[in-house]
Amino acid sequence: MFTYIVRRLIQTIPVLFGVTILVFSMMHLIPGDPAQIIAGESASEAQVEQMRERLGLNDPLPQQYFNYIGNAIQGDLGNSIRSGREVTQEISGRFWVTIELAIYSTILSVFIGLIAGIISATRHYTFLDTMIMIVALFGLSMPNFWLGLMLIQYFAIEFRWFLPSGWGSWQQAVLPVITLGTAGAAIVARMTRSSMLEVIGQDYIRTARAKGVKERVVIYRHALKNALIPVVTVVGLQFGVLLGGTVLTETVFAINGMGRLIIDAIRARDFPIVQGTVLVISLLFVLVNLLVDISYRFLNKRIDLD
């Protein structure tokens, strides 16, 4: 397994390089001059040119990119064009907010999705199965921003059970976690049902039932364990999506996370912040997928990662 982990970590290097090239190129295609934005509309041409020289924007694009990569390898992601602070400091202030939001939403989606999927699979082709799948389809189809606004309207403004914005207390966390976890729960439920139905039809499940094993033991010890591999894959992908897809939710609930940070940086043409944030999210996504692959070995001992 150690060899597999090392090999996967080495494979992340070209992926991260590709991400940096893509983001670097796209940011420089956006209209506008960051030096002009920082210097202000009333700045003279000399002041703007001085700002461009200070930011290194007069260098050729390849040189700018390699300078950035060389500093990033040393742990220096540069300084924010807007605030002048180090990018690592800007990200660290928002990093754990987004991580907590993604983790809590994933836990909620797994909890609800697994229960709904198991019930649906064990009661397949019944009225209950149909209703669960309809609710799952509805949850999957709802836009996050619309659900968030509806939750704020009813549970924060009218009933005043929770707080409509911010992050830090459980009253502030409930609504955004539900908003993000709903779509994930729908996906997990559908995948769990599909995987469970496939496993329940296997010969060893029929054999266990023929031997008189209790139905609860058959479902939870034999069927569920073998059905979890595709579910774990979906959960890992969903967690990665949540890391980069919290922008709308953080905006609706006024949460100062990495999503809002990257949006504000794009508007201000703050290249270092955008590149640093995307690089961190990409690295986390790769590491999450690595953990998902390693978990296969614990779910099924017959899987050889090496």
Among residues 8, 78, 72, which one has the least CA distance to residue 293? Answer: 8
Q: What is the DSSP string of 36-73?
A: HHHH-TT--HHHHHHHHHHHTTTS-HHHHHHHHHHHHH
Quote the pTM value: 0.82
Task: Output the average pLDDT for the chain.
Answer: 82
The pLDDT assigned to 152 comes to 92
- Residue 33, SS3? coil
The structural domains of the chain, ordered by start, are 94-257+280-299 (1.10.3720.10)
| Nearby residues of 41 by Cβ (< 8 Å), 6 or more positions away | none
What digits encode the pLDDT tens for the residues 237-264?
Answer: 888 778 766 777 888 888 888 888 888 8
What digits encode the pLDDT tens for the residues 33-79?
Answer: 677 766 767 777 788 788 777 777 777 878 888 887 888 888 787 77
